[in-house]
Chains A and B, each alone.
Chain A
């Protein structure tokens, strides 16, 4: 149980996908201008990641031992179809959400965070339950980063900022400061044992 907790915490804070591994930066820099949208995109990410973890585990256990060179291609195809499914479900269940996320839902397919999750979970040899906790932590971490940046960006809208730095440059520097703050969590490991 404690192991599972560590997997979760470490993916959530210490090895945060966005701020420590730079995964999923496109939506991070592109969409997170509004808190609400950022949060929803984060939730979509968690959902896709959970399904990805199950897919990756299934592929790793049943198919890939016989054809290791198909790893990348099979991951991509399975994940892409999963996202297609999410998109259809979201369109049906909540048209509002679908409109809010717009172009970014299909973009999750080519989101490195999703494929990165499948690859890292494979490299670490996680089983099904561990994989799910890892996905939950990673997705939560992405959501956290998205929401934090969106919050700060909402603040910066009312500030007087030089025209030159506005946009991506400012976002990257904010992200760098956030990333520095998250480095502080590395201490959790040595403290917790």
Chain B
């Protein structure tokens, strides 16, 4: 009886961890680009968007996974979208009540979480096929990865574009901000260069593991276990 639970436990951890790094929704899968670029001109907005997306993804996955045997195959996409839209409406009203300033700055982009391919993608690819426990692990991992990516971009753009971080000035009056970084082109450039960096990291890791026999042995050992 012990064995299955350990396997399930390790699988839960695996599903959780993969979203943060190995299958990061932004840097690896390049999903949900629209909020990633539109709202990341400050770190605070990035964080708010990340948390809002986390909320929606978590509860959508919970509901979809618990209803996965009830939802008819033919109308599943429509059902997913209605479930997602419901939670987005909730988060929209919640943000308007708790942090009206941030809500105003994010504007229509909160409502646009509905059409974030990441959320629908996880429902279709994962939550509708797996147990609640795994679906929640997957949702949390993916949203953490997403929030992490948003913060990466937001921090770069705010530091370069306004010379501040979380509204705290960093460099004093002598710093000439690169205004372009908080404008739309800055979003494209920042993500472009971050992707470049991640490509480089992956390439380096691949080359390393190619020459490294110990890594393969470890891989085999893990598979055997």
Interface residues of A (CB under 8 A from B): 19-26, 29, 69, 71-73, 76-77, 80, 110-112, 114-116, 119-120, 123, 164-165, 167-173, 175-177, 179-180, 183
Contacts and interface: CB of A to CB of B under 8 A. Distances in A.
B78 A80 contact: yes
B104 to A, nearest CB: 12
Which 10 pairs, one residue from A and one from B, show the smallest C-beta to C-beta distance?
Answer: A176-B188, A172-B192, A25-B33, A173-B192, A169-B195, A22-B37, A179-B185, A180-B185, A176-B189, A112-B34
Given A25-B34, A77-B78, A80-B78, A176 B192 contact: yes
B178 to A, nearest CB: 12
B215 interface: no
A119 B60 CA distance: 22
Given A72-B114, A115-B114, A164-B203, A175 B108 contact: no
A22 B33 contact: yes
A71 to B, nearest CB: 8
Contacts of A23: 34, 38, 112
B63 interface: no
Contacts of B117: 26, 110
Contacts of A26: 31, 33, 117
Among A29, A73, A177, find the residue whose CB has the most chain B CB atoms closer than 10 A: A73
B216 interface: no
Contacts of B81: 76-77, 80, 110
B51 interface: no
A12 to B, nearest CB: 16
Given A24-B34, A183-B184, 10 more contacts: A21-B184, A22-B184, A23-B34, A23-B38, A72-B111, A72-B114, A73-B82, A73-B86, A112-B116, A176-B188
Given A164-B199, A169-B199, A115 B192 contact: no
Given A116-B108, A168-B30, A175 B78 contact: no
Interface residues of B, number: 41
B89 interface: yes
Among B31, B120, B199, find the residue whose CB has the most chain A CB atoms closer than 10 A: B199
A25 B37 contact: yes
A169 B192 contact: yes
Contact of A172 (B31, B82, B188): B188
B112 A115 contact: yes
Contacts of B34: 22-25, 112
B196 A169 contact: yes
Interface string B34-51: 101110000000000000
Nearest to B119: A110
A89 to B, nearest CB: 19
A21 B86 CA distance: 24
Contacts of A119: 108, 111-112
Interface string B181-200: 00111111101110110011
B152 interface: no
A76 B85 contact: yes
Contact of B30 (A29, A111, A173, A176): A29
A176 B195 CA distance: 14
Among B30, B31, B185, find the residue whose CB has the most chain A CB atoms closer than 10 A: B185
A72 B88 contact: yes
B13 interface: no
A175 B191 CA distance: 11
Contacts of A123: 107-108
Nearest to A84: B78
A22 B195 contact: no
28 contacts: A20-B184, A22-B184, A23-B38, A24-B34, A25-B33, A25-B37, A69-B93, A72-B88, A72-B89, A73-B82, A73-B85, A77-B82, A80-B81, A110-B81, A110-B120, A112-B34, A119-B108, A123-B107, A164-B203, A165-B196, A167-B199, A168-B192, A172-B191, A173-B193, A176-B185, A177-B185, A180-B185, A183-B185
